[in-house]
Amino acid sequence: MKTIATICARGGSKGLPGKNLRPLRGRPLIVHSIAYALAHPAIEAVCVSTDDERIAEVAREAGAEVPYLRPPELARDDSPKLPVIEHLLDFLQREQGRAYERVVDLQPTSPLRIAQDLDACLRRAEEPDQPGLVLTAYDSGFNPYFNLVELQGDGSVLVSKGGGLATRQAAPPVWALNGSIYVWRRAALAHAARHGMWSVRVAAHIMPASRSVDIDTAEDFAAAERAASEGTPAP
């Protein structure tokens, strides 16, 4: 199946300015995801979508393609990601005649994934139910059936779901999305870009919390550095 890896990286970041170029283990953060994609045999092309000249330069130096700088209307703080990926894929097909059947979207702020995580996602994507999307998640330690509460109209709080269970073991398993890997069937991505991610069949690969750091703040960056120093292999 013809597969492309996409990496979406805006220049602006309020939580940690310049995070995509901030050095982690001797390389700019975005380079970890580029190197990860380039090293995987299932991926035929690696493309970065960015609005930032410096990110584009670093990405090209690392071996990724940057076909253009992303237009401003797709680079706002509130710009959703799926139209950005669709814009990139449409450009490649329209301008270069390149069409792909599968899209592996890698979040540049999730540098601790390993090759086996993508292997597992790709295997799950090919199982008989053929989900439109396989994404990654992890056990955050919180559960809406047991220890997550919601504010009520009268100012009190109640457990979010299920009426309250006596023990965590009695609660259905739940996971938090970590944003690390998304494996899309091309048609499902087009549908989700119009109707939302949960409008397609979604499956999950569960990663450990140690590989699920999503860098948005200086504290997150420090956590990623600690995890790396404890033995997470470099991509």
Residue 235 falls within a domain, yes or no? no
**Same domain assignment for residues 61 and 9:** yes
Q: Supply the Cα-derived Rg of the chain in whole angstroms.
A: 19
Tokens of 129: 């139910």
- Say what the pLDDT of residue 164 is: 66
Q: Please tell me the distance from the alpha carbon of residue 61 to that of residue 219, in angstroms, as a whole number.
A: 28
Q: Please tell me the distance from the alpha carbon of residue 20 to that of residue 130, in angstroms, as a whole number.
A: 33
**Same domain assignment for residues 170 and 126:** no
- CATH no. for residue 43? 3.90.550.10
Helices (H), 40-145: 53-61, 81-96, 115-125
DSSP 203: E
**Same domain assignment for residues 101 and 160:** no
Q: Please tell me the distance from the alpha carbon of residue 106 to that of residue 115, in angstroms, as a whole number.
A: 12
Domain of 156? 141-174
Q: Please tell me the distance from the alpha carbon of residue 221 to that of residue 213, in angstroms, as a whole number.
A: 8
Which helix (H) or strand (E) segment holds residue 133: the answer is: strand 133-138
Residue 92 falls within a domain, yes or no? yes
Residue 234 falls within a domain, yes or no? no
Spatial neighbors of 185 by CB under 8 A, at least 6 apart, are 101, 102, 125, 130, 131, 132, 133
Cβ proximity of 24 and 225 under 8 Å? yes
Residue 164 falls within a domain, yes or no? yes
- Say what the pLDDT of residue 235 is: 42
Block residue for tokens 């076909």: 67
What is the model's pTM? 0.93
Q: What is the tally of structural domains in the chain?
A: 2
**Same domain assignment for residues 99 and 11:** yes
User: pLDDT band for position 231 (50/70/90)?
Assistant: low
Mean pLDDT of all residues belonging to the chain: 93
**Same domain assignment for residues 161 and 112:** no
**Same domain assignment for residues 70 and 182:** yes
**Same domain assignment for residues 151 and 58:** no
- Say what the pLDDT of residue 229 is: 79
**Same domain assignment for residues 184 and 168:** no
Where is pLDDT greater, at 34 or 230?
34
Is 37 a residue whose pLDDT tops 90? Answer: yes
Choose the weakest-confidence range: 84-88, 98-102, 139-143: 139-143
For the chain, the maximum distance between any two Cα atoms, rounded to a whole number of angstroms, is 59
- pLDDT for 38-79, tens place per residue? 999 999 999 999 999 999 999 999 999 999 999 999 988 888
Instruction: Please state at what angle helix 115-125 crosses helix 29-39, rounded to 10 degrees.
Output: 60
**Same domain assignment for residues 64 and 156:** no
Residue 34 falls within a domain, yes or no? yes
**Same domain assignment for residues 129 and 184:** yes
**Same domain assignment for residues 30 and 53:** yes
Residue 90 falls within a domain, yes or no? yes
- pLDDT for 159-187, tens place per residue? 898 776 767 778 889 999 999 999 999 99
Last residue of a domain, one of 157, 174, 191: 174
**Same domain assignment for residues 26 and 91:** yes
Residue type, 90: D
